[in-house]
Structure formats: structure tokens, C-alpha cells
Structure 1
């Protein structure tokens, strides 16, 4: 992350930090990319993955010099967030309930990772230990299309 920030500075690049799954990392171990180059980063997150799927509200942080331009870009594609959703989000955050719901999501991700390791343990898988996703390396002679078809025929979605 530090190296990416240094490259962005060297080549005068702007960083878009889409951090919708950042909540899955333990807080003590995690710093978003934006933390390494805040002067040239836009930080995006949402409550739909971390708190409630139906809570379709997101947040944007940007350096003051870019905020006006970004705000007008957002307004050109989204008139305004739903006031009801904004109030619900504020209530959940201010009451501490959002933190509790995040912990539920974190626990669910950990349980799913454990289940995947138990079921697929004889295969080579890679993942972040706190993620909803895994990378399964298919053994020979399987191809990804054959595997996806077999999985789909057995009720499993593979992307």
C-alpha cells in the first residue's frame, strides 16, 4: 500500500479506494489505501455489504480541493440519497447497532471460510482469512468452464 502511494505521488496519479469489503479486516491490522496518500485519494465505502444489504447508501471522502468537483459529478448521476435511508444509516451508526451488524458479517465470513476449507481442503485454495471469497485452483484436467457447469448443475454459483 505504501508503494502504491509512492508511485501515485511520483506519477501524479489519483487513487480511487473502493473499500466496500474493508470492514472484514481486523481494525488493528487494517489501513485503507487512502491512509497512505490522503491528498490524492478518494475513499468510497457503503453500508450494504457491512451492515444491511437493503441499506443502499454509500460514503465518499476526498481531499478538500477535489470535493466540489466530485460532488457535482455525483449530483449529475444521483439526485440525492433517500432521506429515509440516510436517517436509518445515521441511527444505526449513532446507536452502535451498525458495529454489531458488522461483527455479524465478520463472523459469517469467518464461518464461510472455515466451511470452504473443510469442504475443499484437499484442493489448493487461496483467500483472505476474513473474506467472503476464495480462489480455487482447479486440478488437471479440469477447465474453468467445465467446473462452472458442474457446479451450476449442483446448485453452486461460481464466478
Structure 2
């Protein structure tokens, strides 16, 4: 099963499913790259799995309203989905560049097309439980982040990380403000939390 939800934000490349079409399923959506409120998912699968995929998709979506299906289909067929995804990609790259400029040394393998970045916490934020303390300290400063453990299937990685969603702020100016607050918190360490009380 290949997750293609964000592929519209990257340079075109062949999906892994193209190399094993008889065994692979490619799952995608318009909600992450075209229109956040448009819950329109797609599954590309081998013909032998088509009926099972259709049944699973119907069960998960509880049958999409006809207007949603019509909107999604129109966006795809008219080329508007590609145009909107291109605008998203351009904005994502600009925001990514702002984040790399402000937090470059703290970022873990940033990809210029990624709408999310991982920040490796420096010492002394590396102590157990401090990732959540960092998230809380950022929240107290008006910045929403997520700890790596929230995304871990098993144990979190040996070094604590924080996930930053670049698309959440309404504007680049708000993103810059949030990035500056994050950088200050990274540099000041856990003792900076005491300044708030």
C-alpha cells in the first residue's frame, strides 16, 4: 500500500505501484493538496482487488455526497486540481525556505516540498519527557507542535524530535513569528518555561 496523499506537492515521479501493478495499491486524496475541506479519496489497485477496495472505501467514507464526488471529479478532469496543487507546492516551498532559514541547524533532513518538518531538540531538551515539555512550552507561546512519540508505532527515536506543520499558520508572517518563538525556545532551553510564571 503506497501513500500518495502528498505526491501532488512534489516533482512528478513514477509511483512505486507502477513497478508492481499486480500487487500494489496507491491511495491518494484531494484534501491535503487541493482543498482541505474536500474529502475525496482515490485508490488505484489491481483489477482483482477493485471490488474489495471499493467496498472498503465505501465503508470508510459512508458514501460521499454526490456534490463532493462531482466537485472532485470536476477538479481532476478540468485540470483545476493540478493548478491548485501547483499553488500549494509553491507556497509550501516558500514556507519551507523560511523554516530552513530560521531553524536550519535544528531541522532533520528537510525536504523542500514537505509540508511538515522535524526539529531535533538540542540538549537539555533531550531528557525523557522533555519533548512533551517543549510542545507545552511552545503552546504557552501560541505555537502548536507535536512530539515525535505521537507518531511512533513502537518506541520513539533515540533523539527527541518535534513535528512542525508549515501550513497551519494563516500567513507567512504568522509562520515567521512562530518560527522565531520556536528558535528562542530551542536556544533558551527548559529553564525558559519558568519565565512565564
TM-score range, shorter chain: 0.7 to 0.9
Measured after TM superposition, the shift of residue 135 of structure 1 is 1.2
Taking the aligned partners of 2:133 and 2:60, their CA distance within structure 1 comes to: 40
Contact 2:43 2:53 in 1 (8 A): no
Taking the aligned partners of 1:91 and 1:124, their CA distance within structure 2 comes to: 38
Once the two structures are superposed, residues 100-128 of structure 1 have per-residue CA deviations (whole angstroms, 9 ceiling, x without a partner) of 10011101110111111122134343222
Match of 1:147 in 2: 134
1:26 aligns to 2:11 (yes or no): yes
Which aligned pairs between 1:37-56 and structure 2 lie closer than 5 A?
37-56=20-39
Match of 1:114 in 2: 97
**Where does structure 1 lack aligned partners over 5 or more consecutive residues?**
1-15
75-84 vs 101-110, which moves further = 75-84
- What CA RMSD, in Å, does the superposition of the two structures yield over aligned residues? 1.6
For the structure 1 residues 144 and 87, does the alpha-carbon distance in structure 2 shift closer, same or farther, using more than 3 Å as the test? Answer: same
Measured after TM superposition, the shift of residue 80 of structure 1 is 2.1
**Where does structure 2 lack aligned partners over 5 or more consecutive residues?**
147-197
1:157 aligns to 2:140 (yes or no): no
Once the two structures are superposed, residues 34-91 of structure 1 have per-residue CA deviations (whole angstroms, 9 ceiling, x without a partner) of 1221111111100011111111111111101111222233334444221101111122
Which aligned pairs between 1:84-103 and structure 2 lie closer than 5 A?
84-103=67-86
For the structure 1 residues 117 and 67, does the alpha-carbon distance in structure 2 shift closer, same or farther, using more than 3 Å as the test? Answer: same
Normalised to the residue count of structure 2, the TM-score between the two structures is 0.67
Contact 1:48 1:57 in 2 (8 A): yes
Taking the aligned partners of 2:25 and 2:78, their CA distance within structure 1 comes to: 27
